[in-house]
Structure 1
Amino acid sequence: MNVFAGVDDVARELGLSPSTIKKYYLLIEENGYRFTRSRTGKVIFSERDLEIFKRLIQIKNEKGIKVVDAVKTVISSITDVTVWKESAAATEFEEPPVDITVMKETMEQMHEIIKNQQKQIDQLLESQNQTQKLLESGSTDRDKLLLQSIRETQELKQLILENNKKKKWWQFGK
């Protein structure tokens, strides 16, 4: 069973203007038939509703009677209107079903996007880990070089002090 999203879809299907469809469905509802509505209150038409519109147009055009009379004729020809009205009042209507293939394609696209994002996250984490290792090894190497430089400086000072102690006072400036 095809579900038409709204007035515009039915109008397009029947070759009528949306305002004409709205006028017709309001007249039909005034005569006791209830169309399905979404949670937001918009009218949702089914194949059955489309057939009612077709029958209404056919009766109106063939017999040349007023739309109001044609609506009454169509409604009286429907045998299960009262049963349908009761079930319509008792149930909460949902949005029309979305095409499953469109949903699957959307899900696949979303899955691909998530996979790509996960790859990017993994690459960023790996890059961050490498940077952290470089920083740690760089600071360790830097610390070693600094300590070595300090030792060499201290050794050099020590040598200079020892050398100065060995010199006599008159050779101090040389």
Structure 2
Amino acid sequence: MSEEKEVKQENIYSSNDVSTLLKIQESTLRKYALMLEDNGYKFHKNEQGHRGYYDKDVIALKKLIELKKHPDMTLKQACIALMTWLSEKSKSNTDTIDIAQHERHGDGYNELLQKIDLLQKEQEKQQDFNKLLIDQLKKQQAHSDLNHQQLMDAIKVVNEQKQLIAATKEEKVSPEKKKKSWFKFWE
């Protein structure tokens, strides 16, 4: 009974998940499963007869694929070798969770993760650069405001000097010219 509880707590994968995980077609997975069953391997099946794959099944299928890659080994021989390997209980330490994280979605998924990391680093650099630009703009604005204030002060001084010059010129004008009537203006 304790074994049944352990089995029920394990992940059960669908054939689609396992075929993606192992990078094989679902039809190839069915073929491998049938050959293993012919050699005595037991897969979990639901009421409709559909296979469910536990972590140990995925490990066994991965080992079968590795064995089949050997140039002198047929698929039937690989199944026999796998059953021998399993009966000796020399199970691999490979965990399907590790496989799932690194291989489930293939190389494209891992490349996307790397690109996301790169983009996050670039975004941080861009934010730092933006802060630097904002600081420079604030300094330029402060300098521009200072220049503007100095210019306004200079204009004010120039206008005051013009007024003083104009007042001085009026005082220098002879009193006779000041007393002329408007009709004597042309004289």
Structure 2 length as normaliser, TM-score? 0.44
Structure 1 length as normaliser, TM-score? 0.47
